[in-house]
Amino acid sequence: MSESKISIHHGDLPAGLSFPKGVAIDTETLGLNPHRDRLCLVQLSSGDGSAHLVKFDGKTYEAPRLKALLADPAVLKIFHFARFDIAVLKQYLGVDTAPLYCTKIASKLARTYTDRHGLKDLVGELLGIELSKQQQSSDWGAQELSDSQKSYAASDVLHLHALKDKLDMMLEREGRLAFAKAAFGFLPTRAKLDLAGFGDDDIFAH
Ligand code: MN
């Protein structure tokens, strides 16, 4: 990951970025409860090996350029476990992120030969790249992020385009692209159910 270009921005994306092949996105927060744990960082990549990290100090979440990108109907947003990230983005930026692609859902529909659907598992098996998860639970609210936090945060978005390409081929092969598209389409509602307190309930269960 040392050769990848990582830019850090405060409070919003810079002007003039474009994401013609969709944008890979991940977020880092202070914890797993969006009502309690604030959004600290949004990582983005165009799939060209570089990453933009947008850092939030917790006082303001104005970020007009980032919000416009998240809501832009012409730009696909690629996540791994979008359900969590889009709930956090809704809670803190007030934005409905769409259209969506989730590599975790794609993996669950395509890779039924395994129950290992973590990002590290996917990147290892499908791309042959070893990801470190060392900084996963570090203090993302820190004033100054360490170099290892920055490179960890970037590594969560650098491979999502390549994963999507592989997973799309597998979904196509198994005739499950339509299931995937429908599941991605339900994600905004799933995230709103989470925020409304229906997180653990399977509303489809008997
Ligand atoms: Mn992450």
Give the domain CATH number at 130.
Answer: 3.30.420.10
Alpha-carbon distance values, 152 to 7, 23, 48, 119, 201 (Å) = 13, 18, 17, 12, 32
Separation CA 151–CA 135 (nearest Å): 9
Write down the pLDDT at residue 200.
87
Q: Is the dihedral of CA 124, 1, 55, 21 positive or negative?
A: negative
Q: Which domain holds residue 44?
A: 5-196
Q: How far is the CA of 80 from the centre of ligand 1 (A)?
A: 9
Could you tell me the pLDDT band of residue 3, with boundaries at 50, 70 and 90?
Answer: low
Q: How far is the CA of 18 from the centre of ligand 1 (A)?
A: 22
Q: Could you please report the per-residue DSSP string of 69-102?
A: HHH-TTS-EEESSHHHHHHHHHHHH-----SEEE
Q: Which of 91, 67, 57, 92 is nearest to 13 (CA)?
A: 67
Host H or E run for residue 194: none
Q: How far is the CA of 183 from the centre of ligand 1 (A)?
A: 22
Q: How far is the CA of 169 from the centre of ligand 1 (A)?
A: 25
| Count of structural domains, the chain | 1
Structural domain includes residue 205: no
Q: How far is the CA of 120 from the centre of ligand 1 (A)?
A: 11
Q: How far is the CA of 70 from the centre of ligand 1 (A)?
A: 17
Q: For 8-54, write each residue's pLDDT tens digit.
A: 999 999 999 999 999 999 999 999 999 999 999 999 999 999 999 99
Q: For 54-92, write each residue's pLDDT tens digit.
A: 999 999 999 999 999 999 999 999 999 999 999 999 999
Q: How far is the CA of 50 from the centre of ligand 1 (A)?
A: 16
Structural domain includes residue 206: no
Q: For 85-140, write each residue's pLDDT tens digit.
A: 999 999 999 999 999 999 999 999 999 999 999 999 999 999 999 998 777 789 99
Q: How far is the CA of 8 from the centre of ligand 1 (A)?
A: 15
CB under 5 Å of ion ligand 1: residues: 26, 156
Q: How far is the CA of 111 from the centre of ligand 1 (A)?
A: 22
Separation CA 102–CA 164 (nearest Å): 8
By three-state DSSP, how is residue 39 classified? Answer: strand
Structural domain includes residue 203: no
